[in-house]
A and B are shown apart, each in its own frame.
Chain A
């Protein structure tokens, strides 16, 4: 009777299982349906006469389209440039507020403020600020304000008019809005480092430079790993900022929207979604193994 222990466990925990079941069914069912539908649609090709399944045509078509290839390239650059920046900004903010000083609480609250501004609102503010021809940023760098007399450019810059500037502005918005999250993770890591260790190193004559690179950074590595993994996932799938600010230069995420709403092709949209999902999973695993390897090399106890 191999089922007997199983039945006994079930009977003992029957209340627990009953109250757990609704949430489990909702989440697991929902995710299974999503995964199933997206894969099925991505591998379905609606030809002129009949529908093919399974078929790779959607992917072949995408691989041949210059729009998809440039979106893929932009997405990779966006993530590769953005992830280290997220980490650096988060660390800078965390190191600023970790030391005790007068007014630290206020400054910490101010630093959390971007988290409380909805992403779409942040995107709209940047849309207004970087407007062309008459936004604040253009007027400042054209030297039209008395408090900032240097003139960098003669004519206003069309920020949304080139791929580089449009995505740079989107990235700036993303970094601004995400700074508190990275900061809080690093801060939690910093606060868990015990003072004894840094003090011991200082007593033994280590410079603050040495303490930072030999003690603080290695001990901070779990927090750094968390930031890198979570932020890179977020950057791969970032939608709102590039959607509002870089409409003409889609990333993969905004290309999904375009395929779905403008090309009216749910199958191609799903194929892009599958590509994005595979990219995210591969990249997350790479970062994970890279960090595990680095940690083995760095932290010798």
Chain B
């Protein structure tokens, strides 16, 4: 099983380092390690406007998605944990289960609604669509964070004369910060990986995120080492961050579907 898990990742690396002769072999066997490992694909990519442009678009989209979903999700999670009014359980279940709604079903109406609103082919539209996926996750993760912080802390601050808002910002927020950072990273990765919404919203524009760029390049049947090099660059942040927030990823994964 270890072999099956590792082999595709190794092959991706191998191709990304391959020189031309080890990919276009003209009928000879493709070597398992390139004849002359080279970084030329990476060098080429990092100086290509198209690639850099897509990377910047991806980055902008993901950061915008992070900001919107934290602003919407964190206060909501706080309210759902700290306030008890009738129907709150139903409300929580409803808000969190929105992520089970199939994205491929919602993508056509999203594009149809976004087109007149001018949200097609730009970063804001894709980020807004990604937030539909990510806000439930933020609520879920942040609820877990706030539940682990006793409400007494804040009450004591209030007894000592702090207002509700001051108590939140000076007492609860600093304690909650690591957990919320994990939620932010989670949203970032979700948006960085996301293909369906980004593709439908950017299919006919010059703008693309990295996954969309991969798909657009695929239709000109490019050399495999180029595809692999983009793939590696797309995966690196995800792999790094996944291991940083593994604990929270696990909570998200075991509680529901993960993108």
B227 touches A19 (CB 8 A): no
Also in contact, A184 and B105, with CB within 8 A (given A16-B85, A176-B4): no
Shortest C-beta distance, B240 to chain A (Å), equals 8
Residues of B within 8 A of A128 (CB): 11-12, 15, 224, 227-228
Answer yes or no: A15 CB below 8 A from chain B CBs.
yes
Question: Does chain A have a CB within 8 A of B214?
Answer: yes
Is B47 positioned at the interface, with any CB of A under 8 Å from its CB? no
Interface residues in A, total, Cβ within 8 A: 80
With A109-B243, A112-B246 known as contacts, the answer to whether A37 contacts B253 (CB < 8 A) is no
Q: CA A236 – CA B101 in complex, angstroms?
A: 12
Report the separation of the CA atoms of residues A13 and B135 in the bound assembly, to the nearest whole angstrom. 22
Contacting residues, chain A, for B106 (C-beta < 8 A) = 34, 38
* B30, CB-defined interface residue at 8 Å: yes
A26 at the interface (CB under 8 A from B): yes
Q: Is the CB of A115 within 8 A of B195?
A: no
Known contacts A117-B238, A127-B218, A276 near B108 by CB under 8 Å: no
Q: Inside 8 A of A15's CB, which chain B residues have their CB? A: 79, 83, 164
Interface-located stretch among A65-73, A129-137, A199-207, A208-216: A129-137
Please tell me which one of the listed residues A34, A114, A136 contacts residue B110 in the complex, with CB atoms under 8 A apart: A34
Contact of B5 among A37, A114, A134 (CB under 8 A): A114
Q: Are B95 and A33 in contact (CB under 8 A)?
A: no
Residues of B154-199 whose CB lies within 8 A of A: 164, 192-193, 195-196
Query: Do most interface residues of chain A lie in helix, strand or loop, or is the interface mixed?
Result: helix
Q: List residues of chain B with CB within 8 A of the CB of A125.
A: 8-9, 11-12, 228, 231
A135 to chain B, nearest CB (A): 8
B211 touching A129, Cβ below 8 Å: no
B239 engages A117 (CB within 8 Å): yes
Segment of B37-45, B69-77, B119-127 engaged in the interface with chain A = B69-77
Which residue of the partner chain, among B1, B86, B105, contacts A93 with CB atoms under 8 Å? B1
CB distance from A241 to the nearest CB of B (A): 11
Considering the complex, give the chain A residue whose CB is closest to the CB of B196.
Answer: A239
Q: In whole angstroms, what is the CA distance A248 to B75 when docked?
A: 46
Q: B215 and A244: CB pair below 8 A?
A: yes
A240-293 contacts to B, CB under 8 A, are 240, 244, 253, 256-257, 260-261, 266, 269-270, 273-274, 276-277, 280
Taken together as a complex, chains A and B put the C-alpha atoms of A128 and B27 apart, in Å, by 16
* Binary flags per residue of B22-59, CB closer than 8 Å to A gives 1, else 0: 00010101101000000000000000000000000000
**CB-nearest residue of chain A to B29:** A144
Contact A110 B2 (CB under 8 A): yes
Find out whether the CB atom of A121 lies under 8 angstroms from the CB atom of B242: no
**Complex contact A37–B112 (CB within 8 A):** yes
In the assembled complex, A17 has its CB within 8 A of some CB on chain B: yes
Q: Which residue of A lies closest to B240 (CB)?
A: A116
| Docked pose: A28 CA to B98 CA in angstroms | 9
Q: Cβ of A134 and Cβ of B30 under 8 Å apart?
A: yes
Contacts of B101 in A (CB 8 A): 31, 34
Interface: B147 (CB within 8 A): no
A129 CB contacts on chain B under 8 angstroms: 8, 11
**B74-107: contact bitstring with A at CB < 8 Å (1 yes, 0 no)?**
0110111011111000010011001011111111
> B195 contacts A120, CB within 8 Å?
yes
B67 within 8 A of A: no
The A-contacting residues of B in range 190-222, CB under 8 angstroms, are: 192-193, 195-196, 200, 203, 211, 214-215, 218
A112 touches B109 (CB 8 A): no
In the assembled complex, the CB of A16 is this many whole angstroms from the nearest CB of chain B, namely 3
In the assembled complex, A150 has its CB within 8 A of some CB on chain B: no
Query: Are A181 and B29 in contact (CB-based, < 8 A)?
Result: no
Q: Mark A9-27, 1 if CB is under 8 A from B, else 0.
A: 1001101110110111011
- Known contacts A26-B131, A33-B113, A237-B102; decide if A117 and B246 are in contact (CB<8 Å): no
On whether the beta carbons of B102 and A256 are closer than 8 Å, the reply is no
Is B64 on the interface with A (CB-CB < 8 A)? Answer: no
**Taking the complex as formed, is B21 at the interface, i.e. its CB lies under 8 A from any CB of chain A?**
no
Q: Is A224 among interface residues, defined by CB-CB distance under 8 A?
A: no
* Smallest Cβ-Cβ distance to A30: which chain B residue: B132
B3 smallest CB distance to A (angstroms): 10
15 A–B pairs (Cβ distance < 8 Å), ordered by A: A13-B83, A24-B76, A28-B94, A38-B106, A114-B5, A118-B192, A118-B195, A120-B214, A124-B214, A129-B8, A134-B27, A145-B29, A237-B102, A269-B108, A273-B108
Interface, chain B (partner A; CB < 8 A): 1-2, 4-6, 8-9, 11-12, 15, 25, 27, 29-30, 32, 71-73, 75-76, 78-80, 82-86, 91, 94-95, 98, 100-113, 131-132, 135-136, 139, 164, 192-193, 195-196, 200, 203, 211, 214-215, 218, 224, 227-228, 231, 234-235, 238-239, 242-243, 246, 249-250, 253-254, 256-259
In order of increasing CB-CB distance, the 4 nearest A-B pairs are A16-B83, A23-B76, A37-B109, A19-B75
